[in-house]
Structure 1
Amino acid sequence: MRARSLVRLLGAAMALGAGLCAARAEVATVRLAKQFGISYLPLTLMEEELFLEKQARQRGLDLKAEWLRFTGGSGMNEALLSGNLDFASGGVGPFLTIWGRTQTNIKVKGVAALNAMPLWLVTVNPAVTSIKDFGPHDKIALPTAKTSIQAITLQMAAEQAFGPGQQGKLDPLTVSMGHPDAQTAMMGGRSEITAHFGSPPFQELELKDPRARKVLDSYDVMGGPHTFNLVWASSRFVTANPKVTEAFVAALEDSLKLIRDDPARAAALWIKAEGAKLSPAEAEAIIRAPQNEWTRAPKRMLAYLAYMNRAGLVSAKAEAESALFFPLGETAGSAPEATGR
């Protein structure tokens, strides 16, 4: 009898130990990354307001967030593959690239979109009024040549302008450069950079100069609003850290709610965090702009994927955007949107 009691006690102790180990299984420090520009506003607010840490505590986790900065999505992908990053963020191009390449191993998928925003190709070359006017002496700065969302959009635009098989016609003119450096190089007039395929707020700031003009709008290329930035992670991390992932999505919702309810405060927080050279009114105007949508719902990502399949950039295919996302991302469409309207 005493032996059976000891066995039961031992079994209970082992079960309790297993439960405690399971509770400790999720990471204590989560590594997240963002890039430059107001398009990463939801992540900036998450960092500044400690939304992730607060949501983690509600789920019984004592979580520390470590924020990293990259100038392009390809660098984030390398960090993700090497295990030095948990949540990457960037444009659709780098995401679809790593999604396609990891289908048979770590299976990277989207966690949630951040926004839908137009990207403008701006030039200071007075001879250029459309992409057909770019010549061998022009250099177009963008985050990462050939793989960034700007690079993919430029290829799609070239295919539309020059015909099938001509999608790479402007690739020799592109130069990989972070947005702040690209803006400085083009507007300074002392470098070879004559155009910048950027993002908000850099494109808006550039167009304040009378020398600058917009020669391409990504919404025109895509036939309407499209996802610009999103967050992605590996299936290995999400499976091992379901509460952390759940806390991240909830924190993202907190950020979107702040943008929706108080865009002036969101603008002030972003300016202070980034040291941005915009007035509060200018930043708020970008946040409120009707073409900018702050939403977790993906838009026109399959159009990008179809082009990348056709161009041989990604071999994996998807019939629905839900195939690109984890289940938390799949339900994004039911979440309230924070739009610029």
Structure 2
Amino acid sequence: MITFKTKYVNLIVSIGIALAMLGMTYSTATAEVKTVRLAKQFGLGYLPLIVMEQYKLIEKHAKAAGLGNINVTWSTFGGGAAMNDALISGNLDFPSGGVGPLIKIWAKSKGILDVKGVAAINAMPLFLNTRNPNVKSIRDLTNKDRIALPAVKVSIQAVILQMAAAKTFGEKNYDKLDHLTVSMKHPDALIALLSGRSEIDTHLTSPPYEFQELEDPSVHRVFSSYDILGGPHTFNNVWATSKFHKNNPKTYAAVFAALNEAMDIINKDKRAAAELYVKATRSKLSVDFVYKIITDPSIEFTTVPLNTMKFAKFMYKIGAIKIMPKSWKDMFFPEIYDKQGS
């Protein structure tokens, strides 16, 4: 016989279960991070991230997703290697940088942090510029020359130099020029090169610095990375850990949506984007000069990964990574799979 007491107990148990389930649902909904930490580097390649920061696009999309008012912090690093250290130590959520550092951390973290790319943020040529009039090709570089780049052996510039050396001197000699390289932030390398008084007489760099250097008649271009890769390639990407991607789906989606909106803002009005860059970075460059760069046909602001597999194949061949991705999609999260990447 079911007594009133039994019904009462069953009711209490049912209410308890319902409250527990409600609590679990509430906990799941509110478990996402309240602070998102992103980082960028120096240069025009990070314009999409500058737009995201200045227009508070992540905050906008997070609020629309029901996450409330989240805190978004931005840091500036001198190279991708330092960012990866910050990511591994748990002090950064979304690093950004060249293809080289992304591929390195993807391979290194496989089965541990499982770091993957969120998206590309541009396609840009990188120039090897020099003030040495005797250097017409990399064959002419000697032990007296010093090449500045963001991070020796690790940065995308370092990888491109190795690819150029392999193409010129043979694959076994891919590191023939490594001993000439010096780790230096682009702004510092620009000053050193143009001063004419530094040991730095060559710089493997990126926009806008490569174009600034070429304004000086004593500086000339030795090669473009597009020559080495055989066409346009991704310069910079944003990446994150699989743990963050899994545990913070709404926050991740907000960052991804913000990045896509930033691309739209830039591509719809590049003069306004140039003005924003000059203002946000407190650059001494004119808006016209920056606008000329970002409207150059060789430069594109896009989330589509381009020619990333060429970098991965080369890095695997020389032993820089121990795991070879089967396709570019292995190195990126699924949200970008609908793009025609390579």
User: Same fold, TM exceeding 0.5?
Assistant: yes
Which of 40, 43, 47 in structure 2 is aligned with 1:34? 40
Matches within 5 A, 1:226-245: 226-245=233-252
**Whole-angstrom CA distance in 1 between matches of 2:16 and 2:339:** 45
Matches within 5 A, 1:169-180: 169-180=176-187
Q: Which residue of 2 aligns with 1:55?
A: 61
CA contact (8 A) 1:296 1:333 kept: no
Q: Which residue of 2 aligns with 1:292?
A: 299
Which of 77, 81, 94 in structure 2 is aligned with 1:74? 81
Cα deviation, 1:170-192, whole Å, max 9, x if unaligned, reads 00000000000000011111210
What secondary structure sits across from 1:165 in the alignment? helix
**Whole-angstrom CA distance in 2 between matches of 1:252 and 1:286:** 21
**Whole-angstrom CA distance in 2 between matches of 1:319 and 1:277:** 44
CA contact (8 A) 1:112 1:332 kept: no
Matched, 1:323 2:326: no
The letter of the residue matching 1:80 is L
Deviation at 1:332, TM superposition (A): 3.8
What secondary structure sits across from 1:230 in the alignment? strand
Which of 150, 154, 158 in structure 2 is aligned with 1:147? 154
**Long gaps (5+) in structure 1:** 335-341
Q: Which residue of 2 aligns with 1:220?
A: 227
CA contact (8 A) 1:31 1:67 kept: yes
Which of 10, 15, 31 in structure 2 is aligned with 1:25? 31
Which of 119, 122, 129 in structure 2 is aligned with 1:115? 122
Deviation at 1:104, TM superposition (A): 1.8
Q: Which residue of 1 aligns with 2:136?
A: 129
**Whole-angstrom CA distance in 2 between matches of 1:16 and 1:186:** 63
Deviation at 1:121, TM superposition (A): 0.5
**Whole-angstrom CA distance in 2 between matches of 1:9 and 1:268:** 59
Q: % of aligned pairs identical?
A: 47
Deviation at 1:329, TM superposition (A): 2.5
Q: Which residue of 2 aligns with 1:277?
A: 284
**Whole-angstrom CA distance in 2 between matches of 1:259 and 1:177:** 29
**Whole-angstrom CA distance in 2 between matches of 1:17 and 1:104:** 32
**Whole-angstrom CA distance in 2 between matches of 1:193 and 1:12:** 69
**Whole-angstrom CA distance in 1 between matches of 2:295 and 2:133:** 31
Cα deviation, 1:216-238, whole Å, max 9, x if unaligned, reads 11000000000100001110111
Deviation at 1:275, TM superposition (A): 1.0
What secondary structure sits across from 1:331 in the alignment? coil
Q: How many residues align?
A: 334
**Whole-angstrom CA distance in 2 between matches of 1:146 and 1:118:** 19
Deviation at 1:278, TM superposition (A): 1.3
Matches within 5 A, 1:298-337: 298-333=305-340
What secondary structure sits across from 1:137 in the alignment? coil
The letter of the residue matching 1:112 is A
**Whole-angstrom CA distance in 2 between matches of 1:277 and 1:160:** 37
Q: Which residue of 2 aligns with 1:339?
A: none
Q: Which residue of 1 aligns with 2:21?
A: 15
Deviation at 1:19, TM superposition (A): 1.3
What secondary structure sits across from 2:322 in the alignment? coil
Q: Which residue of 1 aligns with 2:108?
A: 101
CA contact (8 A) 1:110 1:329 kept: no
